[in-house]
Structure 1
Amino acid sequence: MARRSTKCEYKGKKFDSLVEREYYKILEQRQANGEIFNLRIQEKYILQEGFRDSDGVKIQAITYAADQVYEDKDGITHIVDVKGSLETVEQVFLVKWKMLKNIHRDFKYHIMLKYDGKWWDVNSTEAKRKLKELKIEKKTQREINKNKKKNKRKK
């Protein structure tokens, strides 16, 4: 899948996309307010150690780099992955996400998506329902506009 993300920098930190940087700024403010602690980016986790197969060929480790990681007031680690759209949630990501959840079952996980000007944690049931409604509304509005254009051409 082709990515349209723009790599960028903020305060000497490198981000894979503008939305990733934008969400980091929100977390940075939460840290300044004392709501979260130990905010960091691109923290790597080993999902499976590298090894040598029966022929002696080296097989690389499987790793995952979290967009953002922080601790809450209770000391619970939160892993955040920021997506520009639901279409950027790729199969490889989902497999790695499941592997990470299996290894670190005591962590909290968030897939943050900016949609219609608002941030959504797509792991929450409410967000899934609301995002579905918004997509249907936008699709319906596009169809209405399309039909209006067709009707104007007929006149």
Structure 2
Amino acid sequence: MAMILTGKISEQGFEQDYVPNTEYFYSVSGKEIKAPSTIVWCNDCQKLCDGELLPSLAAINDRMERFRSGALDEVLGLDGVKRNSEISEMELLRNLRKARKSEAKCLVCGGSSITEVDEPEGYSPEYPPIKLTVKYMNGEHQLLIYISGHANLKSMGKVVLNEEGQIA
């Protein structure tokens, strides 16, 4: 179940619904690995978009250690084969991150002038709006982001990216 978010800049008459409906993958050494993504405000697109989430090497190493120790087995339902597959994927992600030269990108236009949105946790419609100062039109404005509903997505689109986050 995906959250439907509504972004508003009242004084500009801007309103946009955003539903994450695409999964992203990096093509690395002939394999596809899940590309972490998040919600961003893109200054070039002038709207909420999917954006790359580039984890730090420390975060990748920490997660790899948690996989290796078996700490995530019960939570994620992993056996030895699945655990080794996750570790291999994390090693590829770590190598990609080490070699990466560019910043995180908007996954719609490829621009790097983005602001990450702190995603709300849970599904409460009473969740207070997220407040974010963004560049819109010719100035800075406050964007308010509300949880406006939920969508049961039966299928997700798939996009494959190269190692620099560009659509392959």
Q: TM-score, normalised by structure 2?
A: 0.28
Higher RCO (C-alpha under 8 Å, 6+ residues apart)? 2
The structure number with the bigger radius of gyration is 1
Higher fraction of helix: 1
